[in-house]
Amino acid sequence: MRLLAPLTPDPQFAGAALIPASHKHKEEIYFMFSEVNKTASVDEELYRARIARVCLTDQGGAKNILPDSWTTFLKARVMCGNGNTAQQYNNIKQAYVLTSQRTGIMYGLFSNAWETTVVCAYSIEDIDQAFSTSKLKGYNSPLIGQRPGTCTVNTTTPPNTKTLEVIRDHPEIEDVIRPIGYAPLDLPTDDHFTHIVMGTALAVNGEHYSVVYLGTEQGKVLKVLHTFDEAFIISQFSLFHNEGPVLSMAIDSQKGHLYVGTSTEIQRVPLADCSRYGDSCRECILSRDPYCGWDRAKRKCLAIPAGYNISTGALSQNLDQSNASICGDVKAMKSRATVPKDVVINSKGPVLLPCPVRSYHATYRWEKDDCSKHYPCTISGTSCVLAPTPELPLKEGVFRCMAVEDGFKQEVVSYRLVFNGSPLPVSLASTLSVSVLLAASTLWLL
């Protein structure tokens, strides 16, 4: 961040993006960073998040004023937090921008002093409006001539001395950049996020939808559908045999892949991982994955192909709400039964019956035989594990993992458990560590 140093103290870089425009000379570069709050009191956070704007054609200052800096530089404070509370996340760790001409969204990954992480989204149009109209912080005189920060056709001649002095002494605007909805994305998870990337998908209705991918400290990836109304977790998956923080992610939109890396592994997954949502219309529709649609003729959840014809295509989606009514009346539908997998185990050994979690908006539970006994289902990573209790020890029989979502009950997987001896003691089953459960559930899905 050497180029920012003359105009901002100790910047910690988070991201940059080119903002396209109808004319080349009006194109701009946005920089997202945190800077040290030198006036912070004892109870204030050390960092403050900022966004800066510079004209792409900026050639730099005059020899006597801003010789090593830009002449169109302006910056603004970026807020991320609930507007109704004092809780703010002031340290921007990473930023990602989806843009078109003066439209688009900037996503920021923020943390606070306790290292809690959240994601805030900002309208590029709102940011541009603030930079174009806001007063300059600490500058009370009338602006004469060209407004500081304006992109012009003539880039060989720097702005006049007065304008350069204003930019040098008052580079910050008064307006504060606030997130869409005046709050972070509402994500029902306690995961610590380490990385963020974005993708866009063209849905069957002809609209483009934003998809957020969030890497976590535990090596998981959350796939999130974001609209101006809500953030919806489409899916969550673990990719690695060895648990570790996600350190890098990248999207290859041409080939349709997401690359995810830790310090020891790299994995590739398709953006349109439609088979993950099972083989029923309801599971496919309720996933709300803009990359996928239900094909009634083939009775499969399929990727939206390139060049999909909206008027003649046969794929179905419902991305704006969790409603699978297009699949038919719930009361008229029957839950399909799965073929139980036989599991023979010694009574002295532990047992693990994993159930793949296809939707994090469904309620999962285990049922035995004629449904007379219910067992809780403990979600760990991408699997929901059978958890026996002293009142309900595991005994021989058929155990079925059931998922209920949008009023429909679906059988996900089933096992026929057979012991060589007496029923498995709960104490043995409870000795399975979280790491073992995560490893087993990961291997289940690979």
Q: Is 170:138 a contact under the CB 8 Å cutoff?
A: yes
Q: Which amino acid is at 11?
A: P
CATH 2.130.10.10 region(s) of the chain?
Answer: 1-185
**Per-residue confidence at 40, pLDDT binned at 50, 70, 90?**
low
Residue pLDDT, tens place only, 104-116: 899 999 999 888 9
CA distances from 152 to 55, 131, 135, 236 (A): 9, 15, 20, 46
CATH class of 341-445: mainly beta
CATH 2.60.40.10 region(s) of the chain?
Answer: 341-445
Residue pLDDT, tens place only, 122-148: 999 999 999 999 999 999 988 877 888
- Range 1-185 classified under CATH 2.130.10.10: yes
Q: What's the mean pLDDT in 27-43?
A: 83
What are the φ and ψ backbone dihedral angles of 419, each rounded to 5 degrees? Answer: -100, 145
CATH 3.30.1680.10 region(s) of the chain?
Answer: 186-333
Which 8-state DSSP code applies to residue 146? S
The CATH T-level fold of domain 186-333 is: ligand-binding face of the semaphorins, domain 2 (3.30.1680)
Q: Is 302:289 a contact under the CB 8 Å cutoff?
A: no
Q: Which amino acid is at 38?
A: K
**Per-residue confidence at 419, pLDDT binned at 50, 70, 90?**
confident
Structure tokens given for 18: 């080119």
Q: Which of 104, 96, 115, 167 is nearest to 137 (CA)?
A: 167
CA distances from 149 to 20, 133, 172 (A): 16, 11, 11
Structure tokens given for 144: 């004469």
Residue pLDDT, tens place only, 213-241: 999 999 999 999 998 888 999 998 888 88
Structure tokens given for 216: 């976590």
Residue pLDDT, tens place only, 166-189: 888 999 999 999 999 999 999 988
Structure tokens given for 378: 């403990």
Q: Output the pLDDT for position 5.
A: 54
Q: Output the pLDDT for position 434.
A: 34
Distance, CA of 249 to CA of 237 (rounded, Å): 14
Structure tokens given for 386: 């059978």
Q: Which of 146, 145, 138 is nearest to 168 (CA)?
A: 138
Q: Tell me the sheet residues that pair with 209.
A: 201
Which 8-state DSSP code applies to residue 182? G
Q: Output the pLDDT for position 100.
A: 60
Contact partners, residue 321, CB within 8 Å, separation at least 6: none
pLDDT above 90 coverage of the chain, percent:
41
Q: What's the mean pLDDT in 51-77?
A: 86
| Lowest-confidence pick of 33-42, 74-83, 88-97, 243-252 | 33-42
This prediction has a pTM of 0.79
Q: Output the pLDDT for position 435.
A: 36
Q: Is the pLDDT of residue 378 over 50?
A: yes
**Per-residue confidence at 430, pLDDT binned at 50, 70, 90?**
very low
Distance, CA of 287 to CA of 282 (rounded, Å): 8
DSSP assignment of 73-133, as one string? -EEEEB--B-TTSS-B--EEEEEEEEEETTEEEEEEEEE-TT--EEEEEEEHHHHHHHHHH
**Per-residue confidence at 443, pLDDT binned at 50, 70, 90?**
very low
